[in-house]
Amino acid sequence: MTDATTARLDDWAKKQTAAEELIPLVGRLYRENDVLLTLFGRSLLNKSVTGMIKAHRYARHFLGEELDIQITHRIVKALSGLNLAPARIDLGRLIEKLDDPNADVDAFLAAELAGVVESQSGKGETRDVVLYGFGRIGRLLARILIDRAGGTGMRLRAIVVRRNGDSDIVKRASLLRRDSVHGAFDGSIVVDEENNTIQANGTLIQVIYSNDPSEVDYTAYGINDAIIVDNTGKWRDEEGLSKHLACPGASKVLLTAPGKGDVKNIVFGVNDEAILDSDNIVSAASCTTNAITPVLKAINDKFGVRNGHVETVHSFTNDQNLIDNFHKGSRRGRAAGLNMVLTETGAAKAVAKALPELAGKLSGNAIRVPTPNVSMAILNLNLDKATTVDELNTYLREVSMHSPLRNQVDYVTSPELVSTDLVGSKRAGVVDGLATIVDEDRVVVYVWYDNEFGYSCQVVRCVAKMADVDVPAFP
């Protein structure tokens, strides 16, 4: 081998060694102190060695160069020696503020993390969460909650479903274990048919069989003060969703569909401050509304939106038919895997429920297409101020990196990116910068979104807000 080849392999081996030492430190801080470490918004918890190295490579988008994993290791090792209270710490943004890599790291961290250093350490209270329904969204919510088990706040205690045959629980567990779109569950799943429980990576989940909320007593399973996440969509108004609140052990309800009537529709990051302690029923709106509202807010804040049209190119859902059959909706009865289906969407009008300043300014339509996941919203907007492609894209990139909407909006510029590349995206929407069109005050912005997983991440953020388990974020 040449000297250059040997040097590259040696460098990679050093990165692997540093990553191998870093991974247990990250896990221990989470389990023992409930401190979640991220790198420019991306969680480092449960990363593989290669995943940890890749996360440091991703930092070049913020720092202009790849982040040296040895620096991160120094910071995390120092954090491990501090008496930390529960917190979310972005190591990338901390390192940005560390002017001299050779500086006194302990003194630097003590100053930056004064709010959680030497304060009351240890885990806080946990809040019981129940998934009412276990379909596409329900199972992804379960995966996310299981992955976060061990920290403060949300603990998945049960799922409520209708019994479908003697092998029901085995089939439910199998659907959690394997997914045609999102891949295999990362971990171990054990089924106890006698006690109707599923143990997933140490999280014991009670499977409760019921045909109606009125039949459930959660306290019989040791579940109290629970947040019920209704992902069936069967009830969407206050009267219907109130059935959950009548159950012993239930205290709040979150709907994973657009709410009707007086139910608050929340797009986390945009209007989540509207969730009050007194709110017992809240909606997390729809996947499309969550995808487009943060981007629309960002654009409206800087340029003003006079009016516009939103066209969604949406993956098919289980509401459609596999082959031609009767459907109460127009066109939706036609085979989902063979057709583009022009249909309606209420997402554009629903934006106004989270962003009232856009009320009456947007129209919308949808085309269902033969893909199982990842959709796109095309925002055709007329602005109050003229702009350019460079100005608009630079602004949206900045929003995705440094604004309060950075957990909702992502930004990509890959000329080879296609829909399957966005499977598993944790952001509500991903702006495709290369597709942006600008003609003075008229713009077209393309927003990708994982209509399953990206939306589920938004739902979990709402659950955390309702559970009042938010931890301080640093810096």
**Residue 287 known to be catalytic:** yes
* Strand (E) or helix (H) holding 73: helix 69-80
Ramachandran assignment for 435, one of left (phi > 0), alpha (psi -120 to 50 degrees), beta (any other): alpha
Give the residues across from 282 on adjacent strands.
254, 264
Burial class (CB in 10 A: 0-12, 13-18, 19+), 176: buried
Per-residue pLDDT of the chain (475 residues; tens, 9 = 90+): 678 888 999 999 999 999 999 999 999 999 988 999 999 999 999 999 999 999 999 999 999 999 999 999 999 999 999 889 899 999 999 999 887 777 788 889 988 898 787 665 555 678 999 999 999 999 999 999 999 887 767 999 999 999 999 999 999 999 999 999 999 999 999 999 999 999 999 999 999 999 999 899 999 999 999 999 999 999 999 999 999 999 999 999 999 999 999 999 999 999 999 999 999 999 999 999 999 999 999 999 999 999 999 999 999 999 999 999 999 999 999 999 999 999 988 898 899 999 999 999 999 999 999 999 999 999 999 999 999 999 999 999 999 999 999 999 999 999 999 999 999 999 999 999 999 999 999 999 999 999 999 999 999 999 999 998 878 889 8
Helix (H, G, I), strand (E, B) or coil at 88: strand
Q: Which of 247, 287, 457, 462 is catalytic?
A: 287
Tell me how far CA of residue 1 lies from CA of 10, 15, 16, 206, 311, in angstroms: 12, 20, 21, 57, 54
DSSP states of 218-249 as a string? Answer: GGGGT--SEEEEE-S-S--SHHHHHHHHTSTT
- First-to-last C-alpha distance (Å) of the chain: 45
For residues 392 and 415, give the distance between their C-alpha atoms in angstroms, rounded to a whole number: 18
Give tens-digit pLDDT for 393-450: 999 999 999 999 999 999 999 999 999 999 999 999 999 999 999 999 999 999 999 9
For residues 380 and 360, give the distance between their C-alpha atoms in angstroms, rounded to a whole number: 15
pTM of the model: 0.94
Domain architecture of the chain: domains with CATH: 3-112 (no CATH), 126-257 (3.40.50.720), 288-451 (3.30.360.10)
- Which of these, 240, 278, 246, 244, lies nearest to 259 by C-alpha position? 240
* Strand (E) or helix (H) holding 443: strand 442-449
Q: What are the structure tokens assigned to 231, written together?
A: 């992902």
* Contacts of 439 by beta carbon, 8 Å cutoff, 6+ apart: none
Ramachandran assignment for 104, one of left (phi > 0), alpha (psi -120 to 50 degrees), beta (any other): beta
